[in-house]
Amino acid sequence: MGFVHQFWQLTIDGLMSGSLYAVIALGYTLVYGVLQLINFAHSEVFMLGAFGGLFAARELVNNFSDTPSGMASVGIVLVGLAVGALCGAAAAFTLERVAYRPLRKRNAPRLAYLISAIGASLFAVNMAGKLWERQNVTMELPFTNGTVFHVFSAEVNTKTLVIILVAAVMLVLLDTLVARTRLGQSIRAVAQDADTATLMGVNVERVILLTFIIGGLLAGAGGFLYAMTFSASNNMGFIPGVKAFTAAVLGGIGNVRGAMLGGIVLGLVESYGGYVFQASYKDVIAFLVLVLILMVRPTGLLGERLGRAA
Amino acid sequence: MLLELADVEVAYGAVTALRGIRLTVDAGEIVTLLGANGAGKTTTLRTISGLLRPRAGQVLLDGEPLSKIPAHQLVRRGVAHSPEGRRIFPAMSVRENLLMGAFHDRKHVARDLEHVFGLFPRLQERVSQAGGTLSGGEQQMLAIGRALMSRPRLLLLDEPSMGLAPLVVRTIFDVIAQINAEGVAVLLVEQNAAQALKIANRGYVLETGQVVLDGPSGDLLADDRVRQAYLGEDVAVPEHDLPHQLAK
Amino acid sequence: MSTTSATPATPSVAPTPPPSQPGGAAALGRAAAAALFSLAGLRQLGVCVLIGLTLALMTGPNGKAAEPLGAVRHAILAPRIVTYLIIAAVLWLLIALWPLARPLWSMGQAAARGPVTAVAQQRFAPLGLNLALLIVAIIMPMFFSNAAVTWMVDGVGIYALLALGLNVVIGYAGMLDLGYIAFFAIGAYTTAYFTSKTAISAHFPVSLNPFFVFPIAFVLAAVAGVLLGAPTLRLRGDYLAIVTLGFGEIIQLIANNSHWTNGPRGAFGVPHLSIHLLGINYSWKLDPKPYYYLLLAIIVLVMIAFGRLERSRIGRAWAAIREDEIAAEATGVPTLRLKLLAFAIGASVSGFAGVLFASKQFFNPQIFSLQASFLVVTIVIFGGMGNRLGVVVGSVVLQGLAFYLRDKVPATDRFIYFGAVVIVMMIFRPQGIVPSRRRKREISLAEHGVGHADSLGSAPTSESGAR
Ligand SMILES: Nc1ncnc2c1ncn2[C@@H]1O[C@H](COP(=O)(O)OP(=O)(O)OP(=O)(O)O)[C@@H](O)[C@H]1O
Ligand SMILES: [Mg+2]
């Protein structure tokens, strides 16, 4: 009876974290699409975006004596998102240039990329710890977190609504970009066959860089949303990173819509599961899901249609 | 001269694949490149389109060296390459594949699509089917069509008849002749020497990374060594005339 | 992968006159100026300045969350920046003028090569070298303080042993295990469980001598490795990395949350190692030296065993898998089983090390952090994957530096440097400081498009149909 009572609330919570996972998962899946490699340092892109967005938004919030409202709230959230996205993009750009590109020029074995990414991740996590202390950094919400409406028995508050809406907008934008634009066309071409894409006049190096940047924009904005609601810290990236990766695999790595679906499904599973099991083991659920998919259906829910929009 | 390879050498690590190739293609010509498996034909085409870089020697297009030009800009200069094994984008539809051919310049897309569909009506019937699900022959048509979408001056074709039924091979060769008649120079790599020499103006025979024979198609067709090695004919050839590989 | 250049596309350097030529000085000056102020030269300058700024930031003061740009300001907009700009400038000169100096360098190298290689190529040289190193290792503790010897056990020795185990996974089988410390934790908690009634809440009915726990932990860790590896290894090789990463985290999570393990308080009072045999009664107590020699003996034994393994049929099969997994599979090498074996061997060495560690000192879940796993990876990469001596040297150098710099570099900053070291190694010297000759060749072959040099499988660039 408890579960039934809680069902809608758990659903709403699951959707909220799931949409964040989806936003981060896209970064894994896009890079996997064009390079066939797991970007282990993507979680640090998320972390750096989170710090950037949080610091910018916190600065603005501190200028108000009360909780901002109306246009001011919208403005602050947008600034936080933009700064977070830019920091994420800058981090992803640097990562690509420093940790991946030199290896690609040498045509290094794939093991080398994984290791290099681990190095980048170590560097970023501990550098952030040095620059901004090793603790949780929080900010005050730039809006009043009241209940906006009810879904059956569940309350949907402003925070949840903001996250779900922003994530939804980003997902739609990305989907359109991949499916309809010229850049999307070249991303899909590189994902399917990089050499042939070159023959068609696609600048593969540029596409790879832009793919990293797009993943960074999304993860950075997602990082801000996360930091705004919870907190930011130098090692915050790890858990959401593993979960987002799980989401990407769940949907079918390389598959853009799969990552979105995988994120939402994982968020829901985790939310229901966290209620059924002990909350402190909630993080284990994602891992179990990962191992389970790998055993049962390693190509994910929608299959690894590499480079395909759907 | 449209294309010239001046003593081009290419190596994969320690393996030397091309050992000083000289080859030219003039505007409007069909030139065929023959050779056994592993002779270096694909390597030659991939070097021309910049996917591989020569260790020595130069590739010149309109007399200008290509060494500083990134591979992806070659299509802008009028070189289109239909690679070995077709390399269709499997998850893209026929139409999307064709649009990829016009990636660098989409001014004439509508007209060029018509043109390709005129050459290969089969493609029009399957315009929204995924490239990966086409038959081998259809994929080959798509690969050639895709290359044509870039309005090339020079078309590089790597074994367009590989694995196809004789009737489809005929269609493909007819289309190659037709494309050439419209003014496109073609460098054609083929195992099917008889048919290739029939439509080509000139030909080169490659062996372990070297040109061992070249000349007008007629001469090559008449050459006993070519007839024995590539046309499968039984001809008595004096031993000492044979380059070492052909002798086997 | 994209444009595979058959010959690496090095920026072509204009042929420069050899420096000894008459009137060479002026020509050399002009060549130097040309190299420095060309477009490429100026780009290099930019890169060097960025490196300098990064170094300034790495070595700079710690910042505060309340003042996000504070650390940057104090590290970069301060007089100390001059030092780092000088470093950047020197670096730039070295890089940009290297092409000019190269002829000199190779001339010197050729001159030096003769005698040096003659010595190195004698058959007994490796043996002699190993013996010399062993003797150094044996007498070393006599010259060091107690604190240093303790570190030589906990910091250098244990990690050398761990690195030897992980080397089987990374170096021999060409896979990546990022939760390696989890098996170490399994070993440690197993020891607490079997040897003491009080160390953690869970305990075995009888308390065993820690020596008996070695085989138990060895087997348990191997089983855990198989359970984890079996479902994962079938798949794309890079999935193993992330699954082990998650596993490492979960083991730590369980250690932290379960009351069986005493949660965050950790394990107290695991008995020390002791021998009671044939009238000999000896216990390892608080003095680190006996531990050091025990560990040294174990490391030497493991090195010898792994050396045999490397040259055995199994070792050759691993090499075949690294070079071309599909071909190996086709010639009847049971690739999946062998990869699993490597993974399990690595895990059991880690479990084994855990017993040693637990019987020496107090531990809590914090020891088994993700960072510890990463540290072992760093040591293997830095030392030279695939080279037993290399990974031990890696541990000695990296952990030795960590000890030497313990007062100058805050412990928390260490991993910034480790991260940088890993990236730099991957860019410039993926084979490590003491490379395995075979591994080095494989990497270079793979870079020319021959083979893989890992067993992550070839990445699918396209679905069926194309290709
Ligand atoms: N990626 C590679 N790595 C190493 N060697 C290669 C590679 N690609 C080709 N080679 C070698 O280069 C030589 C020439 O190969 P190429 O593909 O150009 O031959 P080809 O004439 O196209 O043969 P085919 O008729 O079978 O297509 C062969 O010996 C081949 O083994
Ligand atoms: Mg070929």
Alpha carbons C356 and C304: distance in angstroms, whole number: 19
Q: Looking at ligand 1, which residue's alpha carbon is closest to its atom 11? A: B17
> Given this model, what pLDDT does residue A1 score?
52
Instruction: Tell me, in angstroms, the distance from the centre of ligand 2 to residue B35's CA.
Output: 9
Residue numbers in B near A188 (CB within 8 A): 89, 91-92
Q: Residue A177 pairs with which residues in a beta bridge?
A: none
> Given this model, what pLDDT does residue A182 score?
94
Q: What range defines the domain where residue A223 resides?
A: 24-238
Q: Looking at ligand 1, which residue's alpha carbon is closest to its atom 6? A: B12
- Banded model confidence at residue A211, pLDDT cuts 50, 70, 90: very high
Residue A273 domain-assigned? no
Residue A52 domain-assigned? yes
Mean pLDDT of C345-354: 95
> Nearest CA to C289 among C174, C445, C146?
C146
Alpha carbons C438 and C310: distance in angstroms, whole number: 11
Mark yes or no for CB contact A281/C257 under 8 Å. yes
Q: Are A140 and C440 in contact (CB under 8 A)?
A: no
Alpha carbons A121 and A123: distance in angstroms, whole number: 5
DSSP C270: P
Mean pLDDT of C206-230: 91
Is residue A217 predicted with pLDDT exceeding 90? yes
- The tens digit of pLDDT for each residue in C66-122 reads 999 999 999 999 899 999 999 999 999 988 888 777 777 777 766 665 555 544 444
Is residue C457 predicted with pLDDT exceeding 70? no
| Tally of domains in chain A | 1
Helices in A96-134 by DSSP H: which ranges?
Answer: 101-106, 110-132
Is residue B84 predicted with pLDDT exceeding 60? yes
Mean pLDDT of B28-50: 94
Instruction: Tell me, in angstroms, the distance from the centre of ligand 2 to residue B189's CA.
Output: 8
What number of C-beta contacts closer than 8 Å exist between A and C?
209
Say whether C269 sits in a helix, a strand or coil.
coil
> Given this model, what pLDDT does residue C466 score?
25
Q: How many CA atoms lie within 13 A of B58 on its CB side?
A: 11
Helices in chain B by DSSP H: which ranges?
Answer: 41-48, 94-101, 109-119, 121-125, 136-148, 166-181, 193-199, 217-222, 224-229
> Given this model, what pLDDT does residue B225 score?
83
CA B239 from centroid of its chain's CA atoms: 32
C58 to chain A: closest CA residue: A127
Residues 6 or more apart whose Cβ sits within 8 Å of residue A242: A43, A286, A287, A290, C242, C245, C246, C249
Beta carbons within 10 angstroms of residue C72's beta carbon: 16
Residue A16 domain-assigned? no
CA C270 from centroid of its chain's CA atoms: 29
Site of tokens 């504070």: C70
Could you name the CATH architecture of C129-466? Orthogonal Bundle (1.10)
Q: Are A46 and A237 in contact (CB under 8 A)?
A: yes
- Chains touching C (at least 3 CB pairs under 8 A) are A, B
- The tens digit of pLDDT for each residue in A119-135 reads 999 999 999 999 999 99
User: Min CA distance, A94 vs chain C (Å)?
Assistant: 11
Instruction: Tell me, in angstroms, the distance from the centre of ligand 1 to residue B47's CA.
Output: 12
Rounded to 10°, the helix C370-383/C414-428 angle is 40
Does B59 contact chain A (CB < 8 Å)? no
Is residue C14 predicted with pLDDT exceeding 60? no
User: According to the per-residue pLDDT averaged within each range, which of A201-215, C233-247, C259-273 is highest?
Assistant: A201-215
Percentage above 90 pLDDT, chain C: 37
Residue range(s) in chain C whose domain bears CATH number 1.10.3470: 129-466
Q: Are B58 and B21 in contact (CB under 8 A)?
A: no
Strand order from edge to edge, sheet including B30-35 = B79-82, B154-158, B185-189, B30-35, B202-207, B210-216
Residue A302 domain-assigned? no
> Given this model, what pLDDT does residue B235 score?
56
ipTM score for this prediction: 0.91
Structure tokens at C373: 């796993």
Structure tokens at C390: 């290399």
